[in-house]
Amino acid sequence: MDGPVTMLFDGDCGFCTTEASWWKRHLSTTDAGAAVAFQQVPDLSIYGVTASEASAALHVATPTRVFLGGEAGLVVCRSPKMPWKIVGTVGNNP
């Protein structure tokens, strides 16, 4: 993964909050990125996401693209720490 990733999750959704907490514990580093409740982002347009979209699905923004839903979860796993990088890479292949 080139550059940091930003996970935009719904701070009101239990599943999203659990995934973000897991990511913070297992994967998040200062170079890998951050998990942020979308409600705390003053201008979601910098990620190319609306509040309505962010409330409907998990989004992960990389320097070049925005992923959503299950694909976003796999992108998070491809951040630098092992063994999750392997999980994210293998999970993205049929």
pLDDT at residue number 52: 93
CA 11 to CA 9: how far, in whole Å? 6
pLDDT at residue number 66: 92
Could you tell me how many helices (H) and strands (E) the chain has, helices first?
Answer: 4, 4
Pair of tokens at residue 19: 């995934």
pLDDT at residue number 44: 94
pLDDT at residue number 31: 59
The whole-number average pLDDT for the span 36-56 is 92
pLDDT at residue number 34: 81
pLDDT at residue number 10: 87
Higher pLDDT, 72 or 80: 72
> How distant, in Å, are the alpha carbons of 31, 37, 78 from that of 12?
27, 9, 25
pLDDT at residue number 89: 54
The whole-number average pLDDT for the span 66-84 is 73
pLDDT at residue number 25: 75
